[in-house]
Amino acid sequence: MKFKLPFNKQQQQPVQEAPKENLVRVAHATDHFIQSIKNATNNPADLIVKYLPPNVTLIYIDNLIDDQTLNNDIIANLQSKPHDTPEAIEMALSIAEVSQSSLLRETVELMVNGHVVIHIGGFPQTILANIASRESRALSAPENESQVIGTQVGFNESLSTNISLIRRYIVSPNLCNEKVKIGTRTSTSVSLLYMRGIANDQMVQTMRQRIKDLYIDELIDSAVLAEMIDDNSLSVFPQMLLTERPDRFCDGILDGKIGVLVDGSSMAIVSPQGFTEFFQSQEDQNLRWQIATFLRLLRLAAFFLSVYLTPFYVAALTFHYEVIPQAFLVPLSESRALVPFPPIFEALLLEFIIELLREAGARLPTKIGQTIGIVGGIVIGTAAVQAGITSNILLIIIALSALASFTSPSYMMGNVIRLIRFPIIILAGFWGFYGIMLAFCFILIHLLRQSSLGAPYMSPFYPPRLKEMRDSIIRMPVPLTSKRPALTRPKDEHKFVPEPVKPDKS
Amino acid sequence: MILLSFVFLYGCAQTNILDKVGLTTLVGYDVGTEDKIKTTAVIREVNPEFQSNVEVLSTENDTSKGNRMEANRKLSKKIMVGQMRVILFGEELAKKDLRYYIDTNLENASVSNGIFMAIVEGETETLLKYEYQNIEDIGQHIFRLIEQNVKQEYMISSTLHQIAHDYYSSGKEFAMPIIKRDDELVELSGIALFKGSKMVSTLPAKDSFYVKIVRDTFKVGLYETVLENEDVPSEILQKPANKITVAFDAIQSKREMMLVDADTPTFDLNIKIKSRVLEVYPDINQGDPKSVAALEKAIEKKLSKEIRRVIAHSQEVESDIFGFGEKYRSEVRHSKLTKDKWQKIYKDMKVNVHVDFTILRDGVFE
């Protein structure tokens, strides 16, 4: 059964707007031209019109351009000697990106992008010089994907900065960068990055198609884009990785994945992405393989612990008291004896409190957040036990599973883990272990059905690709993982030709 | 639709919330008046008012379920048997018939097949109702007592699963440990031998070593034996003595049963024991290979004598707890062995016991 998607992915290209407006030409007369620009931009307060005698006019939007460049490289050059033809002016400007246009619409579009419009009275064209300066914060450490060993730089909100970061990691002419504008109102720049010679053409084509087919009016963040170009937007599991680490992004690209950057967003999209890869951290590459393997197994264990521990408690206490070890029986039943609620209600209540604390901690200012953490953790925790609302053991279990859910390196996946726990708890409270099994099968089937950019989501487990398990939930030493994952169907399968770990002594 | 079925089906699941059930940890069966079953149950109840208490309830009824219903009328919580660990039988009941009890518990899905079964000298009720000073929960205590001894291989293991297997196999009888109250303690006092489902004889607890060594392989068990005067090789003694006490733990034992003659069944029983001698009193020179060899010989002689004695005893009461019949059935074609048939053959069976005892080490200095 296919659900109807909440928005249309395969919508027809928007009908080209009336060519009449598109083809309005730039006026000869200066007054006429200024008026037409003002009309087209609704005469904003920051529109600056500057006359340079005898016949040159400069029009720009104050907040978009770099004042220093304007003064030194444009006004100074224009004032030094008079020019009378657009060609002469174009030659005179010491700016790299200069173009001419005779269409009003194009002129206005570039102007709102940070170009200066130079108009010479009597000529039906404009000269456009790009001196845009965008406000962006300095590069800083990635806040949400911090790691101990490894680079401490994250993407910021500027597309050009982000691309320059990537170009610094991958110094190669094969790094392809395609630019697309998305959003009829915001016209946000979206960059599609991939490695020619590695990335699969079909996947690139699919990705390009999905982005280009979007017909939306606004695009503020890459998370929105990721949700819209996912294979299954209705699934709770993310099928594309959102990362703010340039090293992780580049590692993915070099494996044959396709990256998407959105202007104004500090998160980059990497796809195709397998389910197990959400539990891998870039730090794993920087650690010795034994330690990396241990950490990956730890995260996987944390995933299962986080999802199934509380339901297991609920099911065991509600239906299957037989499975409780005898040594554990008395402490468990004694701590439960004071609680007036059935286990399912007790568990849901505590999970709810923990989620409240987490949400409050994320929303509150940093300083208050810490205080709330202490209040929530200690005061509510101990008070709840003393008041007889919950049992001590459940408190430990809930805290443990909350902690475990944060070990996922991807925040998106961590959210999923926290969410899918609730239905499982309810099922466990209704039908015990049968309910848990039902939920487990449901999740498993759902995961098996998913795909990421057409690639199987559960690879390398389904389809089983035994050799790729070397770099999935474990990480084998680098010489053994010299092949790129088949998940991306890379054109060049080998990263390098592995040499024997221990060369024969000769 | 699916959600709706979830809501409706919720009512179908029967809940047993832990703090709302009384957990039976041990059940003892006795012969009641007028052929009724007398049940003594150790039930742990947890209440908010007091920490937790252990109730020992005795009821008499026609069936064990009837007993459970009767006990339910006396308690504030629903009685469940899912956490039951031990079933005890009174001696008198065991001598009558245990078939009904084995079947009932086997058929009850909520009773684990790993629970231990044991016989009580005298009545279970008196054993369980006695107020022990240092034992808080008599049910758990007996369970741990049996479990610990089985794990250490001091006592034969008799879980419901093993008993049922032996009971339904045509060439083997089951055996259970016997427990009794010894002042303020409960002790394992012996082994009960069964013929069919009736208890026919007992062996003292010391003999459980021989029973175990013939029944199955041995890994960690500790054993002490006394070499009598006539067995003691005089040349190894440094001082003249009447007897030598030897304590050893078998590192590994291996038994091999071979049917040599099928007509009047004759078995070769080869037992290989590799062991570590822990204590010898009085002292002998263990550094000398000759005296070690002599000691080995002496122990072999002693062990085979004891094993012969134990087997002879079981033959006398027609209770093949060692499983010679199983071997017979698997080796002799078309034997169509039944329990009755084997019991008759078993009586006249001959067993040649060979013990090969090797001393690997004689202790380690620390």
Test mutation, B1, B6, B18, B86, chain A, max A CBs within 10 A = B18
Burial class (CB in 10 A: 0-12, 13-18, 19+), A67: exposed
For A377-429, the DSSP string reads: IIIIHHHHHHTTSS-HHHHHHHHHHHHHHTT-SSHHHHHHHHHHHHHHHHHHH
Query: For tokens 């503020």, what's the residue?
Result: A220
Beta-strand relationship, B198-204 and A455-456: unpaired
* pLDDT tens-digit map of B94-152: 988 888 888 888 888 888 888 999 999 988 888 888 888 888 888 888 999 999 988 88
Residues of B in contact with A333 (CB under 8 A): 18-19, 23, 46, 52
CB contact under 8 A, B13 and A431: yes
A-chain CB neighbours of B6 within 8 Å are: 430
Q: CA-CA distance, A265 to A269, in Å (whole number)?
A: 10
Q: In the structure, how many helices (H) and strands (E) does chain B have?
A: 11, 13
Place of tokens 């003002």: A38
Asked if residue A485 belongs to a domain, the reply is: no
List C-alpha distances in Å: A245 to A143, A157, A198, A222.
Answer: 10, 13, 21, 14
The residue of chain A nearest to residue B139, with distances taken between CA atoms, is A326
Search chain A and give the residue with CA nearest B143. A326
ipTM tops the 0.90 cut: no
Q: Is the domain of A105 the same as that of A181?
A: no
Tokens coding A143 = 């806040």
- How near does any CA of chain B get to the CA of A494, in Å? 48
Task: Give the percent of chain B with pLDDT over 90.
Answer: 8
Residue type, B165: H
A506 falls within a domain: no
**Residues forming beta bridges with residue B261, ordered by sequence position:** B266
Residue A109 forms part of a structural domain: yes
pLDDT reported for residue B97: 87
Domain boundaries, chain B: 14-205, 217-361
Q: Do both A206 and A350 map to the same domain?
A: no
In order, the DSSP letters of B291-328 are: HHHHHHHHHHHHHHHHHHHHHHHHHHTT--TT-HHHHH
CB B209 within 8 A of CB B223: yes
Could you give the CA distance from residue A273 to residue A455 in angstroms, rounded to a whole number?
Answer: 8
The CA radius of gyration of chain A, in Å to the nearest whole number, is 29
- Looking at the structure, tell me whether residues A55 and A29 fall in a common domain: yes
Select the residue of A317, A334, A338 nearest B17 (Cβ to Cβ): A317
Rounded Cα distance, A428 and A264, in Å: 44
Q: 10 Å Cβ neighbour count for B251? A: 16
Whether B16 and A338 lie within 8 Å, measured CB to CB = no
**Residue of A330, A344, A424, A427 for testing the chain B interface, max B β-carbons within 10 Å:** A330
* A236 CA: distance to closest CA in chain B (Å): 18
**Could you tell me the two tokens for A363?**
């929303």
Distance of alpha carbon A174 from alpha carbon A475, whole angstroms:
28
Residue A78 CB contacts under 8 Å (≥ 6 apart), including other chains: A52, A56, A58, A89, A92, A93, A118
Fold of B217-361: GMP Synthetase; Chain A, domain 3 (3.30.300)
Mutate to test the interface with B, among A333, A334, A336, A386 (most CBs of B within 10 A): A333
pLDDT one digit per residue (tens) for chain A, 506 residues: 445 555 555 545 555 544 555 677 888 888 888 888 888 888 888 888 888 877 788 888 888 888 888 888 888 888 877 667 778 888 888 888 888 888 888 888 888 888 888 888 888 888 888 888 877 788 888 888 888 888 899 999 999 899 999 999 999 999 999 999 898 888 899 999 999 999 999 999 999 999 998 889 999 999 999 999 999 989 999 999 999 999 999 999 999 999 999 998 999 999 999 999 999 999 998 999 999 999 999 999 999 999 999 999 999 998 888 888 888 887 888 888 888 888 999 999 999 988 888 888 888 887 787 777 777 777 887 888 888 888 888 989 998 999 999 998 999 999 999 999 999 999 999 888 999 999 999 999 999 999 999 899 998 898 888 888 888 889 988 888 888 998 889 998 888 887 766 666 65
Residue A316 in any domain: the answer is yes
Residue of B nearest to A327 (CA): B140
Are A108 and A210 found together in one domain?
no
What are phi and psi for residue A333, nearest 5 degrees? -75, -30
What Rg, from alpha-carbon coordinates, does chain B have?
A: 24
- Domain limits at A311? 288-449
Report strand pairing: A56-61 vs A47-52.
antiparallel
Q: Which residues of A touch B143 (CB under 8 A)?
A: 326
Nearest chain A Cα to B85, which residue? A326
In chain B, positions 260-319, which contact chain A (CB-CB < 8 Å)? none
Domains: count for chain A: 3
Do B18 and A432 lie within an 8 Å CB cutoff? Answer: no
State whether A56 and A184 are in the same domain.
no
Residues of A with CB under 8 A from a CB of B: 316-322, 324, 326, 329-330, 332-334, 336-339, 342-343, 430-432
Tell whether B2 is within 8 A of chain A (Cβ): no
DSSP string, B176-195: EEEEEEETTEEEEEEEEEEE
Contact at CB, B112 and A339, closer than 8 angstroms: no
pLDDT at position A262, please? 94
Flag whether A85 is in a domain: yes
Chain A residues within an 8 Å CB radius of B16: 318-321
Same-domain pairing of A396 and A437: yes
Say if A80 falls within a structural domain: yes
